[in-house]
Chain A
Amino acid sequence: MNERPLILAAALLLWGWQSGHFYVAVPLAVVLEAPPFVRRRLELREADFQRIADVTSVLFLALVFIGFSDDAVGGIYRILEWMPAVLAPLLIAQRYSTDGGIPLSALFASFRRTGGTVLEHVPRLADLTRPYVIVCLIAASVGSKASEAFLLAAFTLLVAMLVPPRWSRRSLLPWALCVLMALGAGLATRSALYQLQERVELWVMRWMQDSIAASVSPNQAFTAIGMLGRLKFSDRVRLRIRTETELTGPLLLRESTYEEFRHGTWRNTDSSMLAIDPYGDGHRWRLADAPANASRAVLTAPVKNDPEVIPVPQGAYGLASRDILGLQRHYGGALLVDARPGYLSYEVEFGAEPRGEPEPRPGDLAVPEAYRSTLTRVRSELGSLPADDGGRLKAIEGYFQRNYSYSLVQRGRGPWTQPLNEFLLHRRSGHCEYFATATALLLRELGIPARYAVGYSVSEYSPLEGSYVARQRDAHAWVLAYVDGAWRVVDTTPATWRAEEDAASGPLLAITDLKAWLGYRWSKVRASGAGLRAALPWMLPPLIALLLWRLRRTRRIGARGPASPPASIPTRGADSEFYALVDRLSRRHAPPREGETLRAWLHRLSSADRAEIGRLAVLLDLHNRHRFDPRGLSPSERARLRHAANVSPR
């Protein structure tokens, strides 16, 4: 059935070239293109094809198992990469069988029950050549390295599938011109598709950020490590913080910490929780011992889930709120509250350094094998390090400040397997998740227990709110390092990150802030239970504005003048020549009276010219059929109406 010789070989060689699996691709190409030179064919029965398909299915399932057991997210691409080899038995059977195709019953188990046929007109055999070429192309794209060459190769292969079986001199030139035009269109489409992909990825990220990441999971934290393009975070205000004194530097509000890094995700190996009992009036909780220098802040955060992780300052030791019904501490340090959905306000007492943290665990020193060689190279770049952990910490901070820069944009079109290695060795530019992850792993490599922490960095004061605010884009990641018997905050992200984030804020920031503030105030009013009376001052201005707008709009409509007549609806049969005939008869005798049907009118006129009017009744029948009969008139009847109506009566 293969009408185009060597196309299978070309597809397989492209796959071998791009994926590096030449040792599989070349023998397969030889086997699949050999049939023209081999006389013998296999007389395979339907059951034989079904057995071969079963073998392919088993191979596929094995590949799925291997692919997903190694990498849950990227496993699909590993499977895709090997699909040409998995499907090869079916193609070999097709090429060497006397049938020249694969029975549908071999491809779809459901067809085996119906003897290989589903509908009477559906062919019983399928030609897998084209699907196989496409599979090879997509498999080749997984391991592809050369961009332009791959596009050209893919295009050539697709065009080879379209070469007409017969050439004529007249058809060759237009075909060749079309192919050239298609190449240009393909190049243009490529850049459009990449832009579209970038937008989709950002849209998905924002959606995840707004809907999923807004409520942090204490068990795992997905990072944007490996994502390309510009990271764009929402300007939405997420937290409101009232402090007793003005902040002298950024205040870190922590949500959770994590211990294990794998495939771009930080996890906690233990998801156990510890309930914390209140004391005093039942609305206060003690988290750790009080420090010498303590501060106090009131935070307001939205609560959607039950329980929900709440952010607290790094050194928090006490919590108080009348709206919190229960409090638990997660293995990773996150505080989870039971509270009604809405805005939750809580008072936190905190010191300067992290307090009440658990002792380091073995997981806090684990380094994934995939990064070990890279970390060793980075360690060698650090040169000789001080013996004490505090000195090492400073050296690492200095190293990142000197050699790395902050960037929300990741350019280049992979694929690279370990984006963190790429960040550490080549790009040396990234956002806070790169810095925090790399710092945590580097500290562990140096033997210092470290944990990855996520939360917010607060420094913006909002005059509108009358408090400090943390926006979605203020989300931040840093590291807790266990040094000299205590956990310390290590933030190696260059200080320029805040300026870059601010620069990336949207142009409608003021409007967004006003909307957020109004929404917040309204929810407070509702929560206070003051009812309509309290809400009235808030509702009146927009209602009055709406009324004025409606009044103005009404006047505008009136000022526009008479409405334009509706567009005429094309009437079926409007082209009938009978209308012209009616005009002529009206002029000659008398027009129809008001409400008089054409037939009654013709009947009334019959006294004037009986023979002529009798013939017109026949034409009227044709006219009516032309207008109302769904089948219309036949061409001969239409011609008859046209002719007769034009010639009579003059």
Chain B
Amino acid sequence: MWRAAQMLVLRWGAHMGRALRLRFTPSGRAVLAAAIVATAFGIDIARTRALQVAAAATGLLLVSAIFLLRRRPRIACSRELPRYGTVGVPLAYTLRITNLSTSRSLAEFELVDELAASWPTREEYARFVEPDRLDGPLERWLGFRRWLRLALTRRGGIIPARHAHALPPGAAASLEMALQPLRRGYLHFGHACLCMPDPLGLINALQSGGAPDRLLILPRRYAVPRLDAGMSRRHQAGRLPRASNVGDSQEFLALREYTRGDPLRHIHWRSWARTGAPIVKQFENEYLSRLALILDTCTPPGLPLEAALSIGASYLTGDHPADMVIDLMLMGPRLFESSSGRGLGTVDAQLALLACAEPAPPGEFHRFTRGVLAVLPRISAAIIVLPQWDESRRAFLRALRARGMPLQCFVTSHGTPSAPVTDAEGVLAVRPESMAEDLARHRARMSSVAPAMAVHA
């Protein structure tokens, strides 16, 4: 009961705060505060004349409010968004405002483009932990700041308001907006809101426009060590790095008798002539060079998981041979597998999957390893990113190494104080707070040694 009431009050408070922010200018908020405080203290007219202050402030607000009745021109808004954004990296996009009216000008306005509000549920609020925040006892009890931070995280970004000049009838203006993404995944844009103040500059008339949009925000990406471990095709002598066909190889291996259904172009005419029976060319299967990107998401939310996803995104968007197929594997409600390259899929889809990855329950790790080991026979090499380092993950890595394929394993966890994760364990240790430095160190070390040594196989 208390929790439900708290959520109602928190949501109502956030709504009120937003309404106050949009509807009143800073001067308007000051005058409104003066009116409210003066009315509260002015109730005892025998002791104070604060009601006079309240009357003066209310008079100003009343006249400002009259201007809300003004007819406003219709507008159209559209956004030009980039393909991707990156967490924590400000990005610019364009918002185009068109005054659709043929007779009315659009007065000077403040443009507020907001990400769509989706208020946290009670369960999300209860789950939301902030180890680095130090709210006092009162704030913890009220919970309003924590709720605001959660709401902001869910919203996913901050877009500062932008001042714009008047727009004559039929005119259009393109405004450069700045977005500071706060989380990965899709950010949803709501309607843009035009705040047009009255002549006294106290109360804004609001006009909204624009269609909802969405933008994919990727985890931060870094320069990652290159995995070059002779990932050639198996069961085939020569390397064919630029092969344009997928499936049968162009060079035949042997001859055999014709069986029903063989394509005519595979008939070996000279042998037919020699033997008198139809003979066809036999080809060997061509295997693709498949790199598995195995991301362990069976871990609580936090910096190690974000670092692991960053490494995954860095490999997906980095340089890799054009003939390579990348198989992304991560755990969600089920084992997600997504391939890209050689016509099997796009990197965009994999990036979206990765950007929207949610932490899976830690108990799901065994299901994840079973799924990964099942598809391993068709994999040429693997990059494993583990946000945790424990005995079950060590066993998983041993099982992968037993297959004898080239692989790189990153661990983004510090480990425990008694057993910190180090490179000596045969993994590439990456600390979440100094990812760029750690990855650069690994890159430099691996480029200075022989390719065969660079692979922890």
Partner-B contacts on A (CB < 8 A): 74, 76-77, 80, 109-110, 113-114, 118-121, 130-131, 134, 137-138, 141-142, 144, 147, 150-151, 154-155, 158-159, 161-162, 164, 171, 174-175, 178-179, 181-190, 193-194, 197, 200-201, 226-228, 413-416, 419, 631, 634-635
In the assembled complex, which residues on chain A have CB atoms less than 8 Å from the CB atom of B39? 193
In the assembled complex, which residues on chain B have CB atoms less than 8 Å from the CB atom of A179? 200
In the assembled complex, which residues on chain A have CB atoms less than 8 Å from the CB atom of B135? 110, 113-114
Contact of A185 (CB < 8 Å), options: B51, B63, B212: B63
Contact of B58 (CB < 8 Å), options: A150, A186, A201: A186
- CB of A144 within 8 A of CB of B49, answer yes
Contact of B200 (CB < 8 Å), options: A80, A150, A182, A631: A182
Query: Known: A110-B139, A631-B211. Contact between A119 and B148, CB under 8 A?
Result: yes
A576 to B52 CA separation, bound complex (whole angstroms): 56
In the assembled complex, which residues on chain A have CB atoms less than 8 Å from the CB atom of B149? 119
A120 to B88 CA separation, bound complex (whole angstroms): 11
- CB of A182 within 8 A of CB of B46, answer no
Going nearest first, the 8 A-B pairs with the smallest beta carbon separation are A186-B59, A190-B55, A185-B59, A414-B46, A113-B134, A155-B56, A144-B49, A141-B50
Contact of A131 (CB < 8 Å), options: B30, B44, B53, B60: B30
In the assembled complex, which residues on chain B have CB atoms less than 8 Å from the CB atom of A171? 199
Shortest Cβ distance from A341 into chain B, in angstroms? 30
Query: Known: A141-B38, A158-B56. Contact between A120 and B182, CB under 8 A?
Result: yes
Shortest Cβ distance from A599 into chain B, in angstroms? 27
In the assembled complex, which residues on chain B have CB atoms less than 8 Å from the CB atom of A188? 59
Q: Is there a chain A Cβ closer than 8 Å to B429's Cβ?
A: no
A77 to B52 CA separation, bound complex (whole angstroms): 16
Query: Known: A137-B38, A158-B34. Contact between A415 and B199, CB under 8 A?
Result: no
In the assembled complex, which residues on chain A have CB atoms less than 8 Å from the CB atom of B158? 120-121
Q: Is there a chain A Cβ closer than 8 Å to B349's Cβ?
A: no
Residue of A nearest to B62 (CB): A185
- In the assembled complex, 20 residue pairs joining A and B whose CB atoms fall closer than 8 Å, in A order, are A77-B48, A80-B41, A113-B136, A118-B148, A119-B152, A120-B158, A134-B34, A141-B41, A142-B49, A150-B49, A162-B200, A162-B202, A178-B64, A178-B198, A182-B62, A182-B200, A186-B55, A189-B54, A194-B45, A631-B211
In the assembled complex, which residues on chain B have CB atoms less than 8 Å from the CB atom of A138? 34, 37-38, 41, 48, 50, 53
In the assembled complex, which residues on chain B have CB atoms less than 8 Å from the CB atom of A182? 59-60, 62-64, 200
Q: Is there a chain A Cβ closer than 8 Å to B439's Cβ?
A: no
Residue of B nearest to A175 (CB): B199
Q: Is there a chain A Cβ closer than 8 Å to B243's Cβ?
A: no
Q: Is there a chain A Cβ closer than 8 Å to B145's Cβ?
A: yes
Residues 22 to 75 of chain B near chain A (Cβ within 8 Å)? 26-27, 30-31, 33-34, 37-39, 41-60, 62-64, 66
Residue of A nearest to B28 (CB): A162
- CB of B30 within 8 A of CB of A228, answer no
- CB of A200 within 8 A of CB of B43, answer yes
Shortest Cβ distance from B166 into chain A, in angstroms? 10
Q: Is there a chain A Cβ closer than 8 Å to B300's Cβ?
A: no
Query: Known: A113-B135, A118-B145, A185-B63. Contact between A194 and B200, CB under 8 A?
Result: no
Shortest Cβ distance from A629 into chain B, in angstroms? 12
- CB of B45 within 8 A of CB of A142, answer no
Shortest Cβ distance from A186 into chain B, in angstroms? 3
Partner-A contacts on B (CB < 8 A): 26-27, 30-31, 33-34, 37-39, 41-60, 62-64, 66, 76, 133-136, 138-139, 145, 148-149, 152, 158, 160, 180, 182, 198-202, 211-212
In the assembled complex, which residues on chain B have CB atoms less than 8 Å from the CB atom of A161? 27, 30-31
Query: Known: A151-B55, A158-B34, A162-B202. Contact between A413 and B49, CB under 8 A?
Result: yes
Residue of A nearest to B34 (CB): A134
- CB of A154 within 8 A of CB of B59, answer no
A197 to B49 CA separation, bound complex (whole angstroms): 12
Given contacts A171-B199, A190-B51, 20 further A-B contacts (CB under 8 A): A77-B47, A110-B136, A114-B133, A120-B152, A134-B30, A134-B37, A144-B49, A154-B56, A158-B57, A164-B201, A174-B199, A182-B63, A186-B56, A194-B45, A197-B43, A197-B45, A226-B46, A228-B46, A415-B47, A634-B211
A137 to B202 CA separation, bound complex (whole angstroms): 19
Query: Known: A120-B158, A120-B180. Contact between A414 and B56, CB under 8 A?
Result: no
Shortest Cβ distance from B112 into chain A, in angstroms? 12
In the assembled complex, which residues on chain A have CB atoms less than 8 Å from the CB atom of B62? 182, 185, 189
Contact of A147 (CB < 8 Å), options: B26, B41, B52: B52
Shortest Cβ distance from A647 into chain B, in angstroms? 25
In the assembled complex, which residues on chain A have CB atoms less than 8 Å from the CB atom of B33? 131, 134
Contact of A74 (CB < 8 Å), options: B30, B47, B49: B47
Shortest Cβ distance from A217 into chain B, in angstroms? 22
Select the residue from A155, A186, A194 with max chain B CB neighbours within 10 A. A186
In the assembled complex, which residues on chain B have CB atoms less than 8 Å from the CB atom of A197? 42-43, 45, 51
A77 to B240 CA separation, bound complex (whole angstroms): 90
- CB of A178 within 8 A of CB of B63, answer yes
A417 to B249 CA separation, bound complex (whole angstroms): 106
A377 to B33 CA separation, bound complex (whole angstroms): 46
A131 to B26 CA separation, bound complex (whole angstroms): 11
Select the residue from B33, B37, B59 with max chain A CB neighbours within 10 A. B59
A274 to B7 CA separation, bound complex (whole angstroms): 53
A151 to B198 CA separation, bound complex (whole angstroms): 23
Query: Known: A110-B139, A190-B51, A631-B211. Contact between A151 and B56, CB under 8 A?
Result: yes
- CB of A414 within 8 A of CB of B47, answer yes
A142 to B52 CA separation, bound complex (whole angstroms): 11
In the assembled complex, which residues on chain A have CB atoms less than 8 Å from the CB atom of B212? 631
Query: Known: A197-B43, A227-B46. Contact between A162 and B27, CB under 8 A?
Result: yes
A110 to B27 CA separation, bound complex (whole angstroms): 26
In the assembled complex, which residues on chain A have CB atoms less than 8 Å from the CB atom of B41? 76-77, 80, 138, 141
In the assembled complex, which residues on chain B have CB atoms less than 8 Å from the CB atom of A175? 199-200
Select the residue from A147, A162, A171 with max chain B CB neighbours within 10 A. A162
Query: Known: A147-B52, A414-B47, A415-B48. Contact between A158 and B31, CB under 8 A?
Result: yes
- CB of A141 within 8 A of CB of B46, answer no
- CB of A193 within 8 A of CB of B55, answer yes
A69 to B49 CA separation, bound complex (whole angstroms): 23
